[in-house]
Structure 1
Amino acid sequence: MVYGSTLRIPSEFFVENSANNIETDFVIKLQEAMQNLKPKATAWHGKRDVFVHRDLQSCKHVFIRDDSARPSLSPPYDGPFKVVRRSSKYFKVLVKGRMKNVSIDRLKPAYTTDEQLQPKSSHRPAAASTDTSLPARVTRSGRRVVIPLRYR
């Protein structure tokens, strides 16, 4: 152990040990293999490729992705919102009556019909409006509710 070799039995002094030569060849080959190893390039896990849809340059309405923390099964996009002006990196979008600059990374074109984009009129069904014999109650939120006779 002091001289860096194993102890020998007296009979080993006169016989050449071939196993020792094989071990030294293996060690030399292993050292050469380790010196030839090159490190692998590191991965950039934080870098995310952004997909920009080609129809964004011609669409009239867009959906905006909500990147905030949301409950499970909630929709990732809000909208559709009207596009007012385009730029190379952001769009000026009309959101709830206010102009907002939104990055194109968060936008998706909205493919909708014109009648879906029209504001919904607050008309009541014809059957409910003709029946005036039942009294209507108004809830705290302002809704008119007609309670059927069997539940009164």
Structure 2
Amino acid sequence: MRGKLKHIQSYITSLEYNYTGEAFFVKKKDRGFRHVTSTAKLIIREALPIQCVEAVFVGAYLTADMAEVDRFPVCFRSSLDGRVYRHIVLAVRSGGKWGSLGLSRRDKLMYKELKYDLFSKLVGDFRESYASSWHRLEQVWVGFPLPHDISSNVAIKWKVLVV
């Protein structure tokens, strides 16, 4: 499973980060998983640079057929020099281990290998990564697990629990 997830991360990274400040894709997080997957298919087809939420959409779509992988959105709010920054990754759990998929301007704030025994250890690694980038991590939210049915229209709960 580690190899498959690393391969998916390599693909996400190959799309490159969108530094323009303008989104190339319409993302409506309040819609069901069907919207997430249709947006992910469009991102894959167009192969334009993406931002973190689009990386989560692609990661969720590319792992949807992996029934043995649980996927959770994890949202971060940090600050630096009075500015607030928001970020999201896709936490993944398989075989009792945690890791993450995603994309960021900073390498330390996206992919984490499937190696953490506890979710709290994964979040702790992100906290250390934020600190090493001089960011103050203010809040972390975790959502409900994403469905594996790509045609599901059930609303996704992106932020359910503050950790």
The TM-score, its normalising length taken from structure 1, stands at: 0.22
The TM-score, its normalising length taken from structure 2, stands at: 0.21
Answer 1 or 2: higher relative contact order, Cα 8 Å, separation at least 6.
2
Q: Which has the larger radius of gyration?
A: 1
